[in-house]
Amino acid sequence: MIFLTLIASVLIATVSIYQFRKEAREYHQDRLERKETAIAEHINYVLQTTTYPLTTENVPLIFKEKIFELADIHSMEINIFDLKGKLLISSKAIFKIDKDKPKINEATLKILQASLEKRYIEFSTIDGQPFRSSYTYLKDTKFKPLGILNLPYEEDTAFYDNEVQNFLIRFGQVYAFMFLISIVLSYFLSSYITKSLKIISDKMQETQLDQRNEKIVIEDGSREINLLIKSYNSMVDKLEESATILAQSEREQAWREMAKQVAHEIKNPLTPMRLTVQSFQRKFDANDENITKKLDDYTKTILQQIDTMSSVANAFSNFASMPAQQNETLNVVNVVQMALEIFNEDYIQFSALEDEIIAKLDKTQLIRVITNLVKNAIQAIPEEQEKKSVFVTVFREDNQVKIAVKDNGKGISEENAIRIFEPKFTTKSSGMGLGLAIIKNIIENYNGTITFESELNIGTEFLVSFPINKQ
């Protein structure tokens, strides 16, 4: 806009100056023609009323006094030349004493003679001022040429130069104001355009493959901006599809890793069991007086390793295949309160906004969700921390029952937050990292959700939502 304003101002100023000068030339040309016509008519009148014979030689006698009268009346210098270009008489008295009288140059004379109208205007410049000289034939009553009438005309450009100057001053003031307006409009217009682009740019920078990306919604965008937004939103949809495929691949990879870990965990106790059995077989002596004690030690070792294998198998089984849901209509408030009774920590607090929130859920799985979340909350609080708090709340919102478990522990870091529900991921020194993955599976089987908010060294709050389905 600024560029167009500047270009427009230059073009308009140029065209205006050209127009002023063109009008000035046309004005002087018209004025010279009017003067020439008026003087020619006046001269014809003198020729018609003179008593002298109408010959070229008598022209100085005919206009001896009249030439000055004509010059005064028409405010023009008048020169009359013979047909060969020699000066016969002039309204300028100086010509009378000049030894070398002015003549019409041969080129001008030839042009005049060759012209159809027998008229020619010569353009020149004297001391920087435009100058015109009009040449035309004088004829007698029988249209026979007597001489050549010359009217020198100096163009006075002072008036038009002054007008151009005044116009440029006013024009400059107006366009200076318009230039300021164009700057302001350009600023707001560019801000409006870049505002939409900034939103799109920010959204693009926030776009991640491992998270849900929001689409851009701008109602008053231009056609180009809307096309860009449409392309971005289409990219987000395709990105979500790719993320789903990638998540599926990651889950398969996780299962493979889990299978490797389970095989490793099971293999670990098998080795000492084998060694124990081989040692017992090699050293077995039925007559040994300590055979009973050795048999007990052997049994304890075998059973201990079997229990280890059983715990690994149970953990994997719980994660891999959840037991069938045994849904029943229950009071979620009572079930949550009952689940908290197994904990001995006195800093666990319970609150319910209603005494009764009825929903159709599996009681065992609901208790498992509560105990797992509360157990994690307790473990998230360092043992050396003086003030400990785990707060469990049950409430109803938008036809959903919600359970919040909040602690004042060490919180979850950003790098761990995105992996918190992954199988096998754990920040503890013990455990297989299947707890949160299992309860997330339980909750999603009910079309529910589990989210969390955490702040380092402040605490974490998990929020579980189940749809209230009484049917």
Q: Which of 126-135, 147-156, 171-180, 398-407 has the lowest mean pLDDT?
A: 126-135
| Residue ranges per structural domain of the chain | 2-161, 223-320, 327-467
Per-residue pLDDT at 428 exceeds 60: no
155-160: Cβ within 8 A, 24+ apart: 155/24, 155/25, 155/28, 155/129, 155/130, 155/131, 157/24, 157/129, 157/130, 160/20, 160/21, 160/23, 160/24
Q: What is the pLDDT of residue 168?
A: 83
Residue 172 is encoded by which pair of tokens?
Answer: 């400059």
Convert the pLDDT of each residue in 320-378 to its tens digit. 544 556 788 899 999 999 889 888 888 999 999 899 999 988 888 888 899 889 988 99
Q: What is the pLDDT of residue 285?
A: 74
What class, spelled out in words, does domain 327-467 have in CATH? alpha beta
Q: What is the pLDDT of residue 99?
A: 54
CATH number of 223-320: 1.10.287
Give mean pLDDT, residues 75-85: 87
Q: How far apart are CA 49 and CA 44, in angstroms?
A: 9
456 vs 262 pLDDT, higher one: 456
Instruction: Give the confidence band of 465 by pLDDT, cuts at 50, 70, 90.
Output: very high
Q: How far apart are CA 130 and CA 24, in angstroms?
A: 11
Instruction: Give the confidence band of 408 by pLDDT, cuts at 50, 70, 90.
Output: very high
Residue 178: how many other CB atoms lie within 10 Å: 13
Q: Which of 100-109, 228-237, 247-256 has the lowest mean pLDDT?
A: 247-256
| Beta-strand pair 400-407/390-396 | antiparallel
Residue 25 is encoded by which pair of tokens?
Answer: 């030339």
C-alpha distance from residue 211 to each of 207, 245, 461 (Å): 8, 13, 20
Whether 438 and 425 have beta carbons less than 8 Å apart is answered as no
Convert the pLDDT of each residue in 88-122 to its tens digit. 888 876 544 455 667 888 888 888 888 888 888 88
Per-residue pLDDT at 434 exceeds 70: no
Residue 168 is encoded by which pair of tokens?
Answer: 């440029």
Per-residue pLDDT at 392 exceeds 90: yes
CATH number of 2-161: 3.30.450.20
277 vs 380 pLDDT, higher one: 380
Q: How far apart are CA 402 and CA 395, in angstroms?
A: 5
| DSSP assignment of 273-320 | HHHHHHHHHHH--TT-TTHHHHHHHHHHHHHHHHHHHHHHHHHHHHHH
Q: What is the H or E stretch that residue 205 is in?
A: helix 158-206
Q: How far apart are CA 119 and CA 110, in angstroms?
A: 11
C-alpha distance from residue 320 to each of 259, 311, 314, 315, 406 (Å): 10, 14, 10, 9, 28
In 50-89, which residue ranges form alpha helices assigned H by DSSP? 59-62, 66-74
Q: What is the pLDDT of residue 324?
A: 57
Per-position b or e across 187-212, b if 16+ CB within 10 A of its CB: eeeeeeeeebeebbeebeeeeeeeee
Q: What is the mean pLDDT of the chain?
A: 80
Whether 98 and 112 have beta carbons less than 8 Å apart is answered as no
Q: What is the pLDDT of residue 430?
A: 45
Residue 295: how many other CB atoms lie within 10 Å: 13
Convert the pLDDT of each residue in 137-159 to its tens digit. 888 878 888 888 888 887 776 66
282 vs 264 pLDDT, higher one: 282
Per-residue pLDDT at 461 exceeds 90: yes
Q: What is the pLDDT of residue 429?
A: 45
Percent of the chain with pLDDT over 90: 11
Q: What is the pLDDT of residue 431?
A: 47
Instruction: Give the confidence band of 439 by pLDDT, cuts at 50, 70, 90.
Output: confident
Convert the pLDDT of each residue in 195-228 to its tens digit. 777 777 777 777 766 666 677 777 666 677 778 8
